[in-house]
């Protein structure tokens, strides 16, 4: 008889975008974009190196507001997996496009964990300048 480790069932959860007292996030996006052009936004979530893995990012865009929610996968409750207490980063990238010149807002939704109290679901807005397109109308 062989005994071995089996892969746990993984379940998606909204990712932790911050660890620590400061409410900051790690995000990569251009400061200026051109209206009508796609650009890549990368959000970093964090979690245990053996009990977290990057899943998907959902994008909901209306006008010049893009709401990004990044999901990670963790072992299902009761799976008996012992998780390391380290924190590593997981990259989530998504293409975004703003069509109107002016100000674009990237709203990053995720859990904020100060390490003391319970993690809270919240969001951070990051402003992007949207320049007019050089294409004729």
Q: Determine, yes or no, domain membership for 49.
A: yes
Say if 3 falls within a structural domain: no
What DSSP assignment string belongs to 7-60?
A: PPPEEEEEPEEEESSS----EE--SEEETT-EEEEEEEEEE-TTT-EEEEEEEE
Q: Summarize the confidence of residues 66-95 as an average pLDDT.
A: 94
Q: DSSP letter at 79?
A: S
Highest-pLDDT range among 36-50, 106-120, 122-136: 36-50
pLDDT digits (tens, 9 = 90+) for 11-53: 999 999 987 777 789 999 999 999 999 999 999 999 999 999 9
Residue 135 pLDDT grade (very low, low, confident, very high; cuts 50, 70, 90): low
Per the domain annotation, does 95 fall within a domain? yes
Radius of gyration of the chain (CA): 18
**At 119, is the secondary structure helix, strand, or coil?**
coil
Domain that holds residue 63: 10-131
Q: What is the pLDDT of residue 14?
A: 97
CATH number at residue 32: 2.60.40
pTM: 0.88
């Amino acid at each position: 008889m062989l005994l071995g480790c089996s892969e746990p069932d993984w379940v998606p959860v909204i990712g932790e975008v911050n660890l620590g007292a400061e409410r900051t996030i790690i995000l990569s996006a251009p400061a200026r974009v051109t209206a009508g052009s796609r650009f890549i936004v990368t959000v970093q979530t964090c979690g245990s190196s053996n009990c977290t893995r990057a899943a998907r990012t959902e994008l909901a865009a209306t006008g010049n507001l893009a709401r990004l929610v990044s999901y990670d996968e963790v072992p299902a409750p009761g799976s008996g997996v012992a998780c390391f207490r380290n924190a590593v980063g997981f990259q989530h990238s998504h293409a975004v496009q703003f069509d109107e010149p002016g100000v674009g807002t990237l709203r990053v939704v995720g859990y904020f964990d100060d390490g003391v109290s319970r993690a809270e679901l919240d969001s951070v807005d990051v402003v992007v300048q949207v320049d007019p397109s050089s294409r004729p109308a």
